[in-house]
Amino acid sequence: MNAENQFSYNFFQYSIVDHVFTFGYAAMAAGLVYFLVTSRNALPRYRLASSLSAVVMVSAFLELLVISLQWQRTFVWDGSAYVVGDQLFSNGFRYMNWSIDVPALLVQLLVVVGVTGVAFRRGVVIFVAAGLAMVYTGYVGQFYEVDRPAPFWVWGAVSTVFFAVILLVVFRTTYGNASRLPEEVRPLVKAVFWLLAVTWMLYPGAYLMPAIWDSADGVVARQITYTIADVTSKVVYGVLLGIIAQRVSRLEGYGEARAQQATALRGGVTEVDPPGRV
């Protein structure tokens, strides 16, 4: 049982949540187009990062659409407020979505900072294991959020331990590899750590919301928090990683090579053409 079902909502509270959900899945649809269209702007070795961004967008789009439809079906207008009808609202769908998106977002980072071979495989195992452990222990805890007995706090604390492990490994992956990357992108790689740390912390904040602000307004604040976290940790993060991949590719001469190829295909002059051909 989730805190959402305990309250009734006035027109403003209900509508704000409804609109925020729409913004959430629209942002994922827009992100999907962006990642598909820009994937060829970087070297082939970075394309897995764009594919993973696209996977994240599709799964988040579907999850937010389901959550949005669920909100509209759960709460019915009784003439003065939106009240629970004959079905309940659940945030559990979010956790199922995270079990796809958390590993995908973390593996994307390994691809963009250029981790390969054994280190890549080890990184994938750590990220997938710690990510799933964090999500599923939190999933168990959220069932207890209305009365908040011991399991709510214990599972939340266990989940936080895995979160700390992820943050540590992300720190080492970004700051540890920055010096191997071109100077121009180093500040951006470090910014990825801070973006991830700040935006991912919004999720435990939303988990704790019923304990901090147990009211209809608290529910509105929680769903806004989730949406800000979703758009920044998935879309903004993916765009930032994409920019890093494009810059490194350009510094390695990828843009020029593509321009030359395009000119040659059109039958124009390229640097490799013998003089006097045209």
Interface ranges with ligand RET (CB under 6 A): 98, 101-102, 105, 134-135, 138, 156, 159-160, 163, 200, 203-204, 207, 233-234
Q: How far is the CB of 258 from ligand RET (least distance, A)?
A: 32
Q: How far is the CB of 163 from ligand RET (least distance, A)?
A: 4
Q: How far is the CB of 276 from ligand RET (least distance, A)?
A: 57
Comparison of 222 and 234: residue with beta carbon closer to ligand RET: 234
Comparison of 14 and 31: residue with beta carbon closer to ligand RET: 31
Q: Distance between CA atoms of 231 and 24, rounded to whole angstroms?
A: 7
Q: How far is the CB of 77 from ligand RET (least distance, A)?
A: 31
Comparison of 27 and 248: residue with beta carbon closer to ligand RET: 27
Q: How far is the CB of 264 from ligand RET (least distance, A)?
A: 42
Comparison of 102 and 110: residue with beta carbon closer to ligand RET: 102
- Residue pair 170/113 in contact (Cβ under 8 Å)? The answer is no
Q: Distance between CA atoms of 92 and 109, rounded to whole angstroms?
A: 26
DSSP secondary structure letter of residue 46: G
Q: Distance between CA atoms of 132 and 98, rounded to whole angstroms?
A: 8
Q: Distance between CA atoms of 202 and 235, rounded to whole angstroms?
A: 15
Comparison of 71 and 203: residue with beta carbon closer to ligand RET: 203
> 160: Cβ–Cβ under 8 A, 6 or more apart, which residues?
204
> 199: Cβ–Cβ under 8 A, 6 or more apart, which residues?
228, 229, 232, 233, 236, 237
